[in-house]
Amino acid sequence: MTLQQYQVDAFASRVFEGNPAAVCPLEAWLDDTLLQAIAMENNLSETAYFVPVDNGFELRWFTPAAEVDLCGHATLAAAHVLYAELGYSADSISFATRSGELSVSRDGDWYVLDFPAIVPRPCAAPAGLVEALGRQPMEVLAADDLLAVFACEAEVRALEPEQALLARLDCRGVIATAPGEQHDFVSRFFAPRVGVPEDPVTGSAHCKLVPYWAQRLGNNRMNARQISRRGGELRVALRGDRVQMAGRAVLFMVAEIRGL
């Protein structure tokens, strides 16, 4: 069996920026063990698989260590493959996922993702968080991720977290965020517990970031940047109980998976 695989830099306007994701179109679902093994072999933060169904596509995402419930950049990458490489031409794409129905549409050379808003709730900093981050955040909130809020962009840039300590926390990952110098807000995302020490650009983290910053800034439309080493730009908006995230994508590589 041979599979076609695409590697796409998502939330990027040129290669070597944004967040790389592998995308494997399938005709039918393969065994989960094989899907996980391919993701482990790719060793990217996410490998996305999609299968056509009557009203769109079923979509799943795997880190090198586990399947996840929600992923933004690999959804954007899958949409880019469909539109730019596989001839998809409808106004929008509907993806059936573990987080419900997600849609992606185009606005010029930007892709607009429609995702659920996840409102994080204030909480006390759990034991080990400050030690793991090496700095005391101003505020901590919780959803499936922890949200650590700092006073300024420089503090977020300076973080050098202890990955082993982060992996012990009872959450998917830790989002560090602050007001931006040239953007409404900036962030970084660390998820060693699911095999991703630092994710370059994280769409699912913005499902929590956008409601938080919309309320704090009193603005439902914002520009954001994830300030990882690769970095990535997002245009974001809060629409009721939905978050819209717009980003661009660039194809880096087309490959074949053989020997399966």
- 162 catalytic residue (yes or no): no
Q: How many CA atoms lie within 13 A of 183 on its CB side?
A: 21
Distance CA 245, CA 240 (A): 14
Distance CA 113, CA 201 (A): 14
**Could you give the 3-state DSSP secondary structure of residue 83?**
helix
Query: In sequence order, what are the beta bridge partners of 19?
Result: 10
3-state helix, strand, coil in the chain (%, to 5): 20, 40, 35
Cα 161 to chain centroid distance, Å, stands at 20
Token output for 161 = 């977290």
Distance CA 175, CA 177 (A): 6
The 10 Å Cβ neighbour count of residue 218 is 7
The 10 Å Cβ neighbour count of residue 203 is 27
Rg (the chain; Cα; Å): 18
17, 46, 153, 233: the catalytic one is 46
**Residue found by looking up tokens 């194809």 in the block:** 251
**Residue found by looking up tokens 């490998």 in the block:** 47
Q: Which residues are catalytic?
A: 46
